[in-house]
Chains A and B, each alone.
Chain A
Amino acid sequence: MAIITSDKPAAGTDLPHVQVLVDRCAGCQECVVRCPVGALDMDPGRWVVLADDERCVGCRQCVRTCPFSAIEVTGPALAGSRATTEVVHPEPLLADVQEIRRGLGSWEDALAEAQRCLSCPDPTCMRGCPAHNDIPGFIAAIAERDLAKAHEVLRRTSVLPDVCSRVCNQAAQCEGACTWSLAGETPVAIGQLERFVADTYAVPPPEPAADAGLSVGVVGAGPGGIGAAWALVEGGASVTVYERDPVPGGLLGWGIPDFTLPDAVASRPWRQLEEAGVELHCGVEIDAAGLEQLLSSHDAVVVATGASVPVRLPIPGADLEGVTDATTFLKTARAALEAGDGVRAWRATMGLDAMGGSGRAPHVLVLGAGNTAMDVARTARRLGLGATCVDWLDERFSLARPDELAEARDEGVDVRFSRTVSRVEGDGQRVRRALLAPTRQEQADRLPTVLHGEAPDTLDVDLVVMAMGYRVDPAVAGVLPGTPVRREARGLADRRWAASGVLANRASAFAYHNPVGKLALGREVGLQAASLPVRERLWVVGDALVGPATVVEAMAQGRRAAGALLAARPNRPGREESGRYRRALVCYASEGGRTAQVARTIGEELTDKGLSVRVLPIERVGPAELAAADLLVVGSWVKGLVVAKVGPPPAVRAWLDELPRLGGMPVAVFCTFGVDPRSTLADMAAALERRGARVVATSALRRGGNKVAAVAFARRILAGVRELSAVPASVGAR
């Protein structure tokens, strides 16, 4: 008798052990196809998964991806040790803006760290990365010692590897979503490896394509504008950028201090873009009228104006002299620090020379403890000021990056949580002290309450900086319909995301308990929204689209919008059409198959007339599908009891309500009905028009009606779409 196998763990081993729960394992192989190390196979007789403990590294990818929770892993995760990098604080701090975070010291360190990457077949890290960098791909290139290839991999999705590797909060993004992190271990140092690539091998410049006859205006030269301009110039477009500030870069230039993002790194993208032929006009403010003018002089416009208005707390004393905002502070402080001996002059300008009696340094109070507040406080320390940050959130639920918080405290910043400024008081017109009221916050998703019954602390201050973040200029938002978009995924998450396992687990301690999957899905909403114009020929990206967000999101959205723009190839009025490639999307909601059949017939007819057509059920139509269409046809069955509650079914209503802005897209609407469609068509058309679509044809088709009616409707659609008149006769004559 032969004993062929056993699934019991070997005694005395300190290795991971995989237990397949064979009663629940259905042999779907979701774990097998995703196991990074090939430790899982199929038992062909029982059709359940077999595990090889010898190969298992304990990453728990299988546990996260099994649809039936039929696999368990016990024992350690063999994650290895993460490479450590130094943070060097200058001594003394005054006027020293050297970058304090060091990169990986050597090739050996980089190779050792690269070896920790499992090259997951379904990499959750790249879902966590807002730009969706192919992280296993570029790390594999590092392991092959081929940094040119690493750059090539990164270049598919990012043009700012040097910037993003310095300023991204990787713990809530790629590294928080690393499979090791999801398994509760320390993730691969993705940010450090990306920085190693960018610092060791020069970031390659854009490669302009041949002139495609497309003129695009980009408003704003921050990360969103950089991403858009880069992709557009590589797509052959003629790009003109209009920037309000005297120098390009937006937030990269004035918002992030040199000790985090050195000026040489921040200015690199624009040096390369200008060399590639991007026309840059700085000091040009584009208002609503200017935007209309740009639309008439360019084929398309990308707005990337960011969120530039500082949020100010309406507290008593906010109008005193010496109360300012983060933008003013950072811009003037940057100029002062760059000027070498400008610190004294800056202090004089800010009225701080006579301050700080009793021999103490002047003291700045920073409202907020997020990234901006940390930047302000640490810059203040470099200007020779004492600094205190107050945040009404509990430290456990703070928005500050723990590494930045630690660095700030190391530099002498006094950070106080669970405190808010109830008022500031002055001597005459000059601010002198602030009253800090205690607050209490019990849960992360609840706002703190101010404890009015307790006595506030008094803090002597010489300058108050409001650094609670920024918001989009209402004047800008007013002319950009549908903005800002809320970065919040609603409804059922994308099933591919669910299948990857990135949503399955709470984040590890490394990710500071950020729900990385949920955050990533929210960012995905912004990325998808960027692919659709908010008005005809007008795309919006970055903070102007989604409100205050991150550098990498803005850059990724800029690239996404540019890609959609290049595919759509819009033309400004009066300019001769150049045979634009027409793409139609026919989407339908069908209960019994009849509406689907009509949709297919319409699709066939449109195809026959030379259009590129996709026919999809509405549940499979999202922003990506809409962005890849120039013409939308929407069809639905009619719900109701002959005369009662007749109209589009709830799923169609919900889908229409959830649609992104359609930016003037021509839309045709049809329904199939049995007795009377009543207001079905009008309801659907009104909903589409509310989303910015232009309805060009409608038709109610009787259920069981013949194919001829559907074909006739398709022809009416073609006739009704104004743009289609420019389709060359040779295409439409078939």
Chain B
Amino acid sequence: MAVDLQDRKSAAQGDPVSAAVRLRPAKRAGLEERFAATDPEPGLEVTRNPRVARLMRNRKFQFLLILPNQIVFWTVIFVGVLGTAIPGLNFGAAITWYVWFCLVFVMMVVVGRAWCAMCPFGGFAEWVQRRTFFRRTQKALGLGRKFPEPLARLGFLIPVVSFLVLTWIEEFFNIAGPGNPADTSWMVVGIVSSALIFFLVFERRTFCRYVCPLTTLIGTVGSMGSVAGFRTKDREVCLSCKTKDCMRGGEQGYGCPWYTWPGSADSNLSCGLCTECFKSCPEGNVGLFLQRPLTSVVAPRRRRADVAWGIAILWGLVVFQQFNATNAYASLDSWLNRGMLLPHYPNPVDYVGIIALVSLLYAGIAWLFSRGLGRRDVVETHLDSFADRTSRFRAFFVPMSYGLIPVMGADYFARQLPKFFKHSARVVPAVAHIAGFSSAQSPIYGFHILSDGWIVVVQVAVIVAGTAAAAWATWRIAGRELVPVSRNALGVRLATLGVVLSCGAAASVLYVLMHAAS
């Protein structure tokens, strides 16, 4: 190494360390192409507004988002256990299953991980971990371990498994029916306890990133949203930044709890909207940006297999939740339960079997496309990372799964609508019941916003909207990512389009069948 004596002498007088730091230049090859499609337009920066910026910089901002939800969910826990056993009159069960789940879906589709920013489960555990409600503290409570790498490599798959387990428990005990309100309380206690344990054992938001049952669902469905999350304003500033306070934590903010760097974020998948990077950036180079809907579905260059499989499995689960309302399923489930001496629905074999069948069917179609339409010279990489390996099958399956997100999201949303339209009004008497008055005889208790027939119409309309969005996204994704690996450009676009349209149609038909069965 040659030593440059001329230009460093004067600098050494003031700050000898800086004068002798000779960092290698950051790599910039491929930077432009990598982020061109995903970088939001400067005009869509919300934090350009001084009032919004001031709000986001305030350390109490996230605390005030979490606090109301915290109050509601601790009320859910206590009222669920101590309150009436009538689900519709119990605030815990009513608010959770008639309103909350539906509202979370609306937030996902519009904003992305808005719920994660205000989540009382992770929020509570984070308060304990940080030993403060909102201040910037320096020492965390707990062990601060890293999540084991073999598990971290599975990315968003572990949360999918935990979602499947939680859903089976919920179905088995009829928690979301809702059945006994106390079960709702215990479920919430279970989630809070799990979160607390993970926050005390592992660093940052390991629970939210790698374990939370909802994280894959919120992340994937949220990628349809119009909030891009916190991104860099000028990537060059980020690349030349010598401190990376947004990742390590700075004077005003913590390092990103979600392991996301605004300098390289290309979707809102892993942005928890916690504002910490915005607070900690000493250069003011981070902003909250909006984006066109579906941008985070269509535009990202890096596709991840864990996310793709997560989408396929979540699609399998929602199809199961539709199919389980049909007479055919009831017969199958009863037959299996008799044979296995299980008391009631859902039999784990048909639960897992149907989910696996649907998701593998989707993967199978992708495999067929890869064999029938794919080029033989697709580059294959053998990496340790499950998420990033490439193969001819993955070259089709992974992009196709991203295209399915709008249908899958719409289906989950539509699945929640009956409870909302039929029973959400019960929250009013449920609130009154905490104070000791109101009953199931209240006229509001029996008030339905929509009749069953209209609910099906709305459900099908939601599916149609989701399918249209999926068709548009799939057409774009196929044009950019499948055409280069296919022998027939138009054929692959039409074939993949046909698959998502079929999925949408199947979901619509299932809603009609469900209605007929009920």
Contacts and interface: CB of A to CB of B under 8 A. Distances in A.
**Chain B binding surface, main DSSP class:** loop
B341 interface: no
A569 to B, nearest CB: 15
Contacts of A24: 152, 259
Contact of B263 (A28, A35, A127, A132): A28
B170 interface: no
Interface string B480-496: 00000000000000000
B302 A45 contact: yes
Interface string A576-619: 00000000000000011100000000000000000000000001
Interface in A7-48: 7-8, 19, 21-24, 26-30, 32-35, 38, 41-42, 44-48
A67 B255 contact: yes
Nearest to A68: B259
B383 A156 contact: no
A499 interface: yes
Contacts of B236: none
B23 A21 contact: no
Chain B interface size, as a band, is 35 or more
| Of listed B1, B251, B301, residue having the most chain A CB within 10 A | B1
Contact of B282 (A2, A123, A498, A620): A620
A1 B261 contact: no
B71 interface: no
B8 A624 contact: no
A26 B259 contact: yes
B187 to A, nearest CB: 28
Contacts of B433: none
A220 B30 CA distance: 60
23 contacts: A1-B379, A3-B382, A4-B381, A24-B259, A26-B259, A26-B264, A27-B264, A32-B26, A33-B25, A33-B26, A44-B31, A47-B266, A68-B259, A72-B149, A134-B12, A140-B2, A152-B5, A156-B16, A495-B242, A495-B250, A495-B282, A592-B53, A619-B282
A667 to B, nearest CB: 22
B338 interface: no
Contacts of B23: 33-34, 121-122
Interface string A57-84: 0000000000111101000000000000
A636 interface: no
A92 to B, nearest CB: 45
A646 B182 CA distance: 47
B244 A123 contact: no
Contacts, number: 198
Given A69-B203, A121-B23, 15 more contacts: A2-B379, A22-B387, A23-B259, A23-B385, A28-B238, A28-B264, A35-B24, A72-B149, A134-B19, A136-B1, A136-B22, A143-B1, A156-B12, A492-B251, A592-B54
A452 interface: no
B185 interface: no
Contact of A156 (B9, B243, B259, B263): B9
Contact of B264 (A47, A121, A122, A136): A47
Given A5-B383, A45-B34, A499 B248 contact: yes
Q: Which 5 A-B pairs have the closest CB atoms?
A: A44-B30, A67-B247, A26-B261, A495-B243, A156-B12
B16 A8 contact: no
Nearest to B24: A33
B303 to A, nearest CB: 10
A21 B152 contact: yes
A44 B34 contact: yes
A141 interface: yes
A46 B57 CA distance: 31
Contacts of B250: 492, 495
B261 A27 contact: yes
A559 to B, nearest CB: 9
Given A21-B149, A33-B25, A41-B27, A496 B243 contact: yes
B246 to A, nearest CB: 9
Interface in A119-170: 119, 121-123, 126-127, 131-134, 136-138, 140-141, 143-144, 149, 152-153, 156-157
B361 interface: no
Interface string A316-335: 00000000000000000000
Contacts of A34: 23-24
Nearest to A35: B24
A558 to B, nearest CB: 14
A4 B379 contact: yes
A46 B146 CA distance: 23
A134 B383 CA distance: 40
A469 interface: no
| Of listed B29, B153, B383, residue having the most chain A CB within 10 A | B383
Contacts of B378: 1
A3 B380 contact: yes
Interface string B112-156: 000000000000000000000000001000000010010011010
A2 B380 contact: yes
Interface string B200-226: 000100000000000000000000000
A42 B29 contact: yes
